[in-house]
Structure 1
Amino acid sequence: MPRWLVILGIFVLLSGGKSAAQPAETKLDPNIYDNYLGTYELSSGELLVIGRSQRVLYFYEPSTGLARGLDHAPSSTPALKWFAGPSFQIFSPVQFEIEFIRKGGMIAGLVLLKPGVATQTAKKVPFYREEKVSFRSGDAILSGTLLIPSTKGPHPAVVCVHGSGEQDRNGFGSIIRFVADHFARHGIATLIYDKRGVGGSTGNWANQTLDDLATDALAGFRMLQNRSDINRKQIGLWGSSQAGWIMPKMAAQTNEIAFIISVSGAGAGISVGDQVLYNLEVDLHNAGFSPDEIAEWKQAYRLLYKIVQTGEGTDTSQLEELVRKLQQNPKLSDAIRVNWFLARSNPKIDWKKRDQWFFLYDPNFDALPLWRQYTGPVLGIFGELDGLAPVSEVVPIFAKILASRKNTDFTIAVFPKAHHILMEMETDTPNDNELPRLKRYVPGYFDTMSEWLSRHVTINIDNSQKTLKR
């Protein structure tokens, strides 16, 4: 049945010395730094979680939601002493330090040093085990990690589906890793994997269509179905952002997907083309563009859509003339998303370069009919201040579609003050420029997912309740 949620007492649901830049351009060696990842327990029982992206270690404190990127002083590899700044991707001034403890060549714990607070030591605790896995999808071999609860199987399971861009198994800002850690600690096996051409996977993510991405994720789903320690009838999907287009495409190919959790999902109420136009509008507004200037940019994008759909040989002179005019605006340097295509010095379309987003993704694609066909339960999570989707517009549409299905088991939660990545904003309007300054995940985000899952899957509790309820 549709559910109503009240989060933080606010009605949110419809029925149903360093710079702020990345601290290092060098990729972290997984053979060294994957050993740092996992859950650490303080003597107080409080947990700390270490994750990573391709280049940065990340720190997450489940009790407060605090999340920080970690920098380290130049030193020999492996680096043991790391520093956290005031926010997610700003590393100076230093607010606290972490020093990892090695024992027998492995990371066994960490020391947390916060100003004005007694030094705390946390030991690394195996709430789950990790298994390196690989699976074939077409001509590619995809590499990943399966986080398996320490309790007896077979376990319910989740396949984590990426958002857009070059992402490894841990995701942008370790977002996927933190979700997988949370699920595994709550008794749910979780598959995370590298996109094609990233980490240990072969191929090239940059030339994949949404259908290709769905095929890859579905291959991971099939791999889990063939494992004896996984309950093949309770395997579902978690995905964020672009995954909102990918997951319903997966569900259209099989009726075996047990559930779907969509976080800041694209395709929840508007087409691919309209989603891009919204991203563009928010970006230009925050860069100081006037309504008339924004309208001209949107006109240029609509012309682009029309030309691409008509095909090579179409007259592009009107688009080129408009783009040349728009490129003269000095405020353009403050806009991030227009640089996807139309802000380039040459406004001509390169028809031979087929890995451009407007070739790979059909602007007219609308995921709503596929969502309507899906027969399983759905949890849709949105941030009120998402700069990549018009949340107040799409949530009613998404809820109406889910309620129209034969199975009306869905829940939609909109978290107040939340950014696209479900971290808390300090501004009152959507603004992607705030991303580096975010400080913590919004209260209730992780627990909302695990509590919802506990009502939809069977979790084995044969070791200790404590293990599963962190």
Structure 2
Amino acid sequence: MKILIRWVTIVAVTGLVVTVGAVGVALVGNSFAFDERQVEIPVAAGSLSGVLTTPTSGEAHGVVVMVHGDGPVDATQNGLYDPFFEGAAASGYATLSWSKPGVGRSDGDWLTQSLPDRAAEVSAAIDWAKAQPDVPTSTIVLWGASQAGWVLPAVVADRNDIDGVVAVGTAINWLRQGQFNLQAELDHAGADAKQRARAQAASTNTHALLERGASYEEYLGETTETNPMTRERWGFAQRNFRADATNDLARAATRHIPWLLLAGEHDRNVDVHETAEVYLEIFGGDVKVTWVDAVHSMARPIVDDSEFIGVVTGVFWPRLLLADCVIDSYRGLLDQVADSH
């Protein structure tokens, strides 16, 4: 049983004296039904620091391998993966997840990776898991979010031991995803025509610089973006901006394994309507699309829009961060895979 200790700032007001202190709070809402241990996964660049979660009772009959989205994500996404760990454990699965290269104790630097590098990393982690006597790999399910949409199909297509896939807010085309996100954020912010024109011009210019292979110095000298990329991020974008999942999805479809697409109805990061259309066209009956009243992260819109509500929910009842039916749908795919074996 994992019990999270949430550190909460308590403000006590007595007369005109304000006292601020941090206290550890262990609550029922923060207890999760899975066991967890640390693991080290050897890779070409050194090792990746990860966690293996398992059911609190009984043996697991399979393992879920987590594939992160963009950014410096640690093995548990700062605890936000716990409901998924618990859901997998309840369905009799272990879960393997690791901090991205350069995050925590993991060696390397995720910003130096290409998307094929990320797929190779996932494959290496699976090979490591299969060599461990205490990791149940007779059934393997991939779980991937957002940027993992360009990683999951490549792994499935290149292996014959993946039994199911859960895709969470995944995209199809890097550039179209960027344009969708730009317009969605402008809409959300209520941008006027001048702001929209400025943002679109900056985006078009950045695309042109990427296409011509501009140096970072050229990019800095020419960009009109409000928050320019760092040198490392520019390199990451140069390596990956041509990504399109279509061909790998078609290759993966020949495996005829079940896929679940969790699509947030309020997703401003990814055009999940495009993703759903492409997945249905390519996978046909092998994919189930579940529409969720959620944002990109599968969180309820209210906790995404209000920092206060999000913090309070995360501290006192983190299960409620995720929208209704997310974990039930996830477990449905896991149970389907288990029943087919």
TM over 0.5, shorter chain = yes
Task: Tell me, yes or no, if the aligned pair for 2:171 and 2:275 is still in contact at 8 Å.
Answer: no
Distance across 2 between alignment mates of 1:185 and 1:154: 10
Note the residue ranges of structure 1 that are not aligned, 5 or more in a row. Answer: 1-36, 40-49, 52-56, 58-69, 83-97, 101-109, 113-121, 324-341, 461-470
Query: Does the residue aligned with 1:289 lie in a helix, a strand or coil?
Result: coil
1:65-105 C-alpha deviation (Å, 9 max, x unpaired): xxxxx52459xxxx9944xxxxxxxxxxxxxxx4x4xxxxx
Amino acid at match of 1:309: E
Supply the RMSD in Å over aligned alpha carbons.
3.3
Change (3 A) 1:442 1:129: closer
What is residue 237 of structure 2 aligned with on the other side?
Answer: 358
Distance across 2 between alignment mates of 1:184 and 1:214: 25
1:33-81 C-alpha deviation (Å, 9 max, x unpaired): xxxx716xxxxxxxxxx38xxxxx4xxxxxxxxxxxx52459xxxx994
Note the residue ranges of structure 2 that are not aligned, 5 or more in a row. Answer: 12-20, 314-319
1:144-167 C-alpha deviation (Å, 9 max, x unpaired): 111122455462111111111111
Task: Tell me, yes or no, if the aligned pair for 1:160 and 1:176 is still in contact at 8 Å.
Answer: no
Distance across 2 between alignment mates of 1:144 and 1:258: 22
Shift of 1:458: 5.0
Distance across 2 between alignment mates of 1:238 and 1:150: 21
Task: Tell me, yes or no, if the aligned pair for 2:266 and 2:301 is still in contact at 8 Å.
Answer: yes
Shift of 1:206: 2.6
Percent of residue pairs identical: 24
More helix by share: 2
Change (3 A) 1:401 1:174: same
Amino acid at match of 1:258: D
Q: Is residue 155 of structure 2 the alignment partner of residue 250 of structure 1?
A: yes
Query: Does the residue aligned with 2:107 lie in a helix, a strand or coil?
Result: coil
Task: Tell me, yes or no, if the aligned pair for 1:151 and 1:187 is still in contact at 8 Å.
Answer: no
Q: Choose which of 365, 384, 389 in structure 1 pairs with 2:265.
A: 384
Change (3 A) 1:297 1:235: same
Q: Is residue 251 of structure 2 the alignment partner of residue 373 of structure 1?
A: yes
Shift of 1:276: 1.1
Distance across 2 between alignment mates of 1:220 and 1:313: 34
TM-score, normalised via structure 2 length: 0.81
Change (3 A) 1:128 1:424: closer
Change (3 A) 1:359 1:72: same
Q: Choose which of 60, 63, 66 in structure 2 pairs with 1:160.
A: 66
Change (3 A) 1:162 1:257: same
Distance across 1 between alignment mates of 2:201 and 2:80: 34
Distance across 2 between alignment mates of 1:314 and 1:214: 26
Distance across 1 between alignment mates of 2:213 and 2:8: 47
Shift of 1:136: 1.4
Shift of 1:358: 2.2
Distance across 1 between alignment mates of 2:62 and 2:28: 34
Q: Greater CA radius of gyration, 1 or 2?
A: 1
What is residue 307 of structure 1 aligned with on the other side?
Answer: 209
Shift of 1:133: 1.2
Query: Does the residue aligned with 1:135 lie in a helix, a strand or coil?
Result: strand
What is residue 75 of structure 2 aligned with on the other side?
Answer: 169
Q: Choose which of 273, 279, 289 in structure 2 pairs with 1:412.
A: 289
Q: Choose which of 279, 296, 300 in structure 1 pairs with 2:181.
A: 279
What is residue 226 of structure 2 aligned with on the other side?
Answer: 343
Distance across 1 between alignment mates of 2:335 and 2:51: 23
Shift of 1:128: 4.0
